Structure 1
Amino acid sequence: MAEFDDTVTAYLRTWNATDTNERRALLERHWAQSVTYTDPLAQVSGHDGISGAVEAVQAQFPGYVFTLVSGPDAHHQQARFQWGLGPRDAEPVVVGFDVLSTDPEGRIQTVLGFLDQVPA
């Protein structure tokens, strides 16, 4: 579904946005106010919670970027996709698998994340 290509692209752009104002604009446009995000390392909600999680990952992996590894595979108001995190133009160091759902306006409402590959 083409709209989920755009949603997943916006999702990854949010995780890659190092500028607070750019990230805030992406959150406002593409993420529901009441969004929830859960993965093995974080459980946050709302735009401030997502922004804080993004900042924490960026601090832990400075200069790394998120890229799409596979997908998205989507139906109804949900999509799944695999992403990678690593140096630009290099193999990912971390690989994960996320499932997201959207609200009726197409904004990201819920994210469930899983880690498939993490550094030792």
Structure 2
Amino acid sequence: MSDVQQRVTDYIAIWNETDPAARRAAIDEMWTDSPVYVDPLGVAEGRDAIDAFVGAAQQQFPGLVFRVAGTVDAHHNVARFTWELGPEGGEAVAVGFDVAVFADDGRFDRVHGFLDKVPS
């Protein structure tokens, strides 16, 4: 798990990747064959659904970017981290934290998202 900070940084980069082909290539590389992403706004099962979920978030929040806030806390095959969504260099309009479960090969298998601050 020594490279978990970089893996999480790469995961957040997926949420900011606006080129559909590049985003999908990153999802295919970083996620297992049958991944699940879940947060209070929905459940995405499989790479296609995760790709669509990320694309929908980008459409809902145009011009905003996700960023890791703080250090990633990890042990065994689990990591938790805080993220923010806001304008580049600006104050976050949304804040949450995710708990990621990694497969033995280091790819993301499950991500459970929680929202601490949401836009009004």
**TM-score by shorter chain over 0.5:** yes
Aligned residue-pair number:
120
CA RMSD of aligned residues (A): 0.9
| Stretch deviating more after TM superposition (6-15 or 75-84) | 6-15
TM-score normalized by structure 2? 0.96
- Give the match for residue 109 of structure 1: 109
Q: Which residue in the other structure is 1:83 paired with?
A: 83
The aligned residue for residue 43 of structure 1 is: 43
State the Cα distance separating 1:31 from its structure 2 match: 0.9
**Secondary structure of the structure 2 residue equivalent to 1:37:** strand
1:49-64 pair list within 5 angstroms: 49-64=49-64
Where does residue 14 of structure 1 map in the other structure?
14
**1: CA distance, partners of 2:36 / 2:73:** 20
| TM-score, length of structure 1 as denominator length | 0.96
> Runs in 1 of length 4+ with deviation above 6 angstroms?
none
Aligned partner letter, 1:102: F
1:25 aligns with 2:51: no
The gaps in structure 2 that reach 5 residues or longer are none
1:62 match: secondary structure? coil
Q: Distance in 2 between matches of 1:45 and 1:3?
A: 25
For 2:43, what is the secondary structure of its paired residue? strand
Q: Give the partner amino acid of 2:44.
A: V
Q: Which amino acid aligns with 1:68?
A: V
Helix, strand or coil at the partner of 2:3: helix
1:31-56 CA-partner distances (Å, limit 9, x unpaired): 11211011000101111111111111
1:9 positional shift: 1.0
For residues 2 and 16 of structure 2, the distance between their equivalents in structure 1, rounded to whole angstroms, comes to 21
Stretches of structure 1 lacking an aligned partner (at least 5 in a row):
none
